Structure 1
Amino acid sequence: MANFLSTFECKLDAKGRLVLPAKFKAALPEVNGAELILNMDKSGCVEIHPAADFQRRIMSKISGLDEFDPKAKLLRRALMSRVSEVELDGVGRILVSKKVLEHAGIEREALLVGVGKYIEMWNPERFHATQNDLSEEEEAELIAKYLSNE
């Protein structure tokens, strides 16, 4: 499983292509490492997942939703309409569609944030604005709740 760490400032070219940083390329799994899934997250960023990992962790759960439950169908449709597949080209770039860039508010500059199993692509200003969403006290409480050994 991939382990993406660090934050990188990146520029997109005029065609909307983004060069994945070497550290992130190196963290991609060997099998189907060139295939990635872009997910337009509700928070305003774009998640970048290795395709095999996305299939195993997320698609398997979505596929398991009850096909006859109207609410489950709405959820499946909502989730799947925000997803697109891309491939790394020979130079290590991905072509990001205009729809995806507009969702994230990205024009020429993007911030790539490694968050463990996947990468988040942000408009730099939007990302920095979200960093105020969690106070130091709230962060400490969440660390104690989710990351402590007790």
Structure 2
Amino acid sequence: MNLLSGEYECKLDPKGRLVLPAKVKGSLPEETGNQLILVRGFEPCLVLYPRSAWRVIHEKVMALDEFNEEYRQFQRNFLRGMTEVELDSIGRFMLPRTMLRYAGIEKEAIIVGIGNRCEIWDPERYDNFLIKDQQSFSKLAQKFLTTPDAASTNPLAA
């Protein structure tokens, strides 16, 4: 499995298109081709999935019981605005205006590779969501990578 990683500063063109960085494009699974799935993130960012990664997420969301009100609310909010985007010959794709407003992206963006997906952030918002205190970050690493539960479910834990 190809892993998406790194941070890339990008500029939107006047039509609201963003060029997918070559390293990100090169890490996409071959079966993705030129089509990716764009959704709103849980934080104020956009999330870009290769088709294979989206398929896994989509199946989990659609498997929720539609007769349960909380599940329906989750499905509705998670899937709203979901759109397929297509890379053109130079790797650009259109970001819908509603998505740009949601993420607060105007002229510049940061694309962050996070394993099976990329997040697209307004640079200032991204900076505000990062952990600034190294001690807090260290505690999270300890919590998620060294606890007995983490070791059984996390491939990074030794």
In structure 2, distance between residues paired with 1:70 and 1:131: 33
Output one character per residue of 1:54-102: Cα deviation in whole Å (capped at 9) or x when no partner.
112x111111011222222121111111422111112111111101111
Greater relative CO, 1 or 2 (CA 8 Å, sep 6+): 1
Unaligned runs of 5+ in 2: 147-156
Question: In structure 2, what is the equivalent of residue 51 of structure 1?
Answer: 51
**AA in 1 matched with 2:139:** E
**AA in 1 matched with 2:84:** E
**AA in 2 matched with 1:99:** T
**AA in 2 matched with 1:21:** P
SS at match of 2:42: coil
Q: What are the within-5 Å matches in structure 2 for residues 27-66 of structure 1?
A: 27-56=27-56, 58-66=57-65
Equivalent residues of 1:2, 1:118 under 8 A apart = no
Alignment RMSD (CA, Å):
1.5
SS at match of 1:71: helix
Percent identical residues: 39
Aligned residues: 148
In structure 2, distance between residues paired with 1:65 and 1:42: 18
In structure 2, distance between residues paired with 1:67 and 1:106: 33
Q: What are the within-5 Å matches in structure 2 for residues 90-101 of structure 1?
A: 90-101=89-100
Output one character per residue of 1:8-39: Cα deviation in whole Å (capped at 9) or x when no partner.
11011111111000000000010123111112
Deviating above 6 A after TM superposition, structure 1's stretches of 4 or more consecutive aligned residues are none
Question: In structure 2, what is the equivalent of residue 146 of structure 1?
Answer: 144
**AA in 2 matched with 1:66:** D
Question: In structure 1, what is the equivalent of residue 6 of structure 2?
Answer: 6
In structure 2, distance between residues paired with 1:85 and 1:62: 17
TM-score when normalising by structure 1: 0.91
Shift of 1:138: 1.8
In structure 2, distance between residues paired with 1:5 and 1:32: 17
**AA in 2 matched with 1:85:** E
Output one character per residue of 1:127-150: Cα deviation in whole Å (capped at 9) or x when no partner.
112224x52222111111212336
Question: In structure 2, what is the equivalent of residue 22 of structure 1?
Answer: 22
In structure 1, distance between residues paired with 2:124 and 2:115: 22
Equivalent residues of 2:53, 2:117 under 8 A apart = no
**AA in 2 matched with 1:142:** L
